[in-house]
Amino acid sequence: MKQLTCPIASIENYNDDTRRIILDLPEPVEFKAGQYLQMVLPEKKYPFSIASCPHVQDQLELHVRPTAGSADSDRVEALLDSATELTIEVPLGDCFLTAAPKNTLILMAASTGITQMKSIIEFMAPEGFSQPVYLYWGVLSDKDLYMAELCAQWQQRHDNFHVVPVVSEPDTTPEWQGRTGLVGDAVLEDFDDLTNVTVFVSGGPAMVYATLDAFVERGMPEENMSSDIFSYAPRPK
């Protein structure tokens, strides 16, 4: 892991709240698809998944979404409003992919958890998908699907790639025609048998551990699931 100060090449808004940040790398950084970095602020370090894939050597991409009512998030947002460079520590995390799995891959993301999956998908895409890949993306409202167009492009380009957006508060978006409910439940509706799948999950601890329990009950060997949460926020014994 190294600490670097990186010029901000660009910051653009995906929608009302989520921002896409591109950092120029002053030197090459070795990382694996799915790893994260920490933004170093004077008082604290904040973890953010790397949205770009390791094939891109000269820049890193981040997606940052504010958390309402969080002083930490306010600090990060204020920095992004004015900063011309960011100090980061990179790489971190043991939830990554170094080769395509030999069975069905389920990528399950809540909200900006999609960033980690983007890195993994873009890492695998040049080789194509020899096994089916399912991306389940859970959001509150369809306006949170800020990468919907890119997901549709992946699905168009790759026969074996399927994206399933799932909206948990459809009352806020009455025109939404797609899947509704909790993203983990959507996977369970689609897969009767999870004995031979590889799963990556990105989201908060409650969602990740509820998913682990439900998938194990459906037959998934516990070791087939990876998540940053397992090391970042271990389940109390």
What residues line the site for ligand FAD (CB under 6 A)? 36, 46-49, 63-65, 67, 70, 72-73, 76, 112-113, 115, 202-205, 228-229, 232-233
In whole angstroms, how close is the CB of 227 to ligand FAD at the nearest point? 8
141 vs 160, which CB is nearer to ligand FAD? 141
Q: Nearest to residue 28, comparing CAs of 56, 51, 8, 61?
A: 56
In whole angstroms, how close is the CB of 102 to ligand FAD at the nearest point? 26
- Other C-beta atoms closer than 10 Å to the C-beta of 206 total 10
C-beta of residue 101 within 8 angstroms of C-beta of residue 198: yes
16 vs 171, which CB is nearer to ligand FAD? 16
The residues pairing with 158 across neighbouring beta strands, listed in sequence order, are none
- Other C-beta atoms closer than 10 Å to the C-beta of 184 total 23
21 vs 167, which CB is nearer to ligand FAD? 21
115 vs 211, which CB is nearer to ligand FAD? 115
CA–CA gap between residue 195 and residue 218 (Å, rounded):
8
In whole angstroms, how close is the CB of 146 to ligand FAD at the nearest point? 11
CA–CA gap between residue 212 and residue 1 (Å, rounded):
29
Give the residue carrying structure tokens 């043991």.
94
In whole angstroms, how close is the CB of 161 to ligand FAD at the nearest point? 21
In whole angstroms, how close is the CB of 132 to ligand FAD at the nearest point? 24
8 vs 131, which CB is nearer to ligand FAD? 8
The residues pairing with 179 across neighbouring beta strands, listed in sequence order, are 166
